A = this chain, B = another copy of it.
Amino acid sequence: VVVSVTNDQPRLLVVGENEISGGRGDSANASLTGGDALPYGPFDPTQHRTLESGLRAWVSEQTELDLGYVEQLYTFGDRGRDPRERQGGPRLVSVGYLALVSETVSVPASNAKSNATSNATWQNWYHFLPWEDWREGAPLILERVIEPHLSAWAEEGESEFERDTRHERIDLAFGFTTNSWNEKLVLERYELLYEAGFVQESLRDRGCPIALESDRAARGRAMLFDHRRIAATALGRLRGKIEYRPVIFELMAGEFTLLQLQRAVEALAGTRLHKQNFRRLVEKGGLVEPTGRFESQTGGRPAEQFRFRRDVLLERLAPGVKLPGRRHTT
- The interface of chain A, by Cβ under 8 A from chain B, is 43, 45-46, 48-51, 72, 74-75, 77-80, 91, 93, 95, 168-169, 172, 178, 182, 185, 314-317
CA distance A77 to B75 in the complex (A): 12
A92 → chain B closest CB, angstroms: 9
Chain B residues within an 8 Å CB radius of A185: 317
Report the 9 A-B pairs with minimum CB-CB distance, sorted nearest first. A45-B91, A51-B77, A168-B314, A49-B79, A75-B75, A50-B78, A75-B95, A182-B317, A172-B314
Contact between B79 and A45 (Cβ–Cβ < 8 Å)? yes
CB-CB nearest in chain B for A314: B168
CA distance A51 to B316 in the complex (A): 37
- Could you show 17 A-B contacts with beta carbons less than 8 Å apart? A43-B77, A45-B91, A49-B78, A50-B78, A50-B79, A51-B93, A72-B75, A75-B75, A77-B95, A93-B95, A168-B314, A169-B314, A172-B316, A172-B317, A178-B316, A182-B317, A185-B317
Identical copies of this chain, number: 2
Main secondary structure of the interface of A (DSSP, over half): loop
Q: Which of A95, A169, A178, A182 has the most chain B CB atoms closer than 10 A to its own CB?
A: A95
CB-CB nearest in chain B for A182: B317
CB-CB nearest in chain B for A94: B75
CA distance A74 to B172 in the complex (A): 27
Chain B residues within an 8 Å CB radius of A49: 78-80
CA distance A48 to B78 in the complex (A): 9
A113 → chain B closest CB, angstroms: 26
CA distance A79 to B50 in the complex (A): 6
CB-CB nearest in chain B for A92: B45
Chain B residues within an 8 Å CB radius of A172: 314-317
CA distance A47 to B161 in the complex (A): 30
CA distance A71 to B74 in the complex (A): 11
A132 → chain B closest CB, angstroms: 16
A245 → chain B closest CB, angstroms: 11
Chain B residues within an 8 Å CB radius of A168: 314
